[in-house]
Amino acid sequence: MNNVSFDPLIHAQNRLQICAILAATAEIEFKVLREKLEVSDSVLSKHLKALEDAQYLCAQKRSNMGRQRTWLSLSKTGREAYNGHLAALRNIVGSV
């Protein structure tokens, strides 16, 4: 059973979308995530930093074919928080 808790950090629109995308993948590259969300590098970096500070996100820089790529994934804590937040939203909708 997921820990049901509303998390304002995740609930911000862009961060909720980031978490939803990361939850569906094992890892995603920064550039792909930016294109998917249609935001600028700086806006995405700001949201990622907030999630990283809360230890919800793991960012790893890896070099591939001479090009450095930043791979992003949800941490175990982040995945639990996201699932808990989803459960909380469903509870709010269900309790009406």
Name residues contacting another protein, limited to 5-44 (CB under 8 A).
5-9, 11, 13, 16-17, 20-21, 23-29, 31-32, 36
With H, G, I as helix, E, B as strand and everything else as coil, classify residue 31: helix
45 interacts with another protein by CB under 8 A: no
92 interacts with another protein by CB under 8 A: yes
Which string of b and e fits 67-77 if b means at least 16 CB within 10 Å? eeeebbbbbee
- Name which of 23 and 59 has its Cβ closer to another protein: 23
96 interacts with another protein by CB under 8 A: yes
Q: Are 44 and 32 in contact (CB under 8 A)?
A: no
46 interacts with another protein by CB under 8 A: no
What are the two backbone dihedrals, phi and then psi, of residue 62, each rounded to the nearest 5 degrees? -135, 145
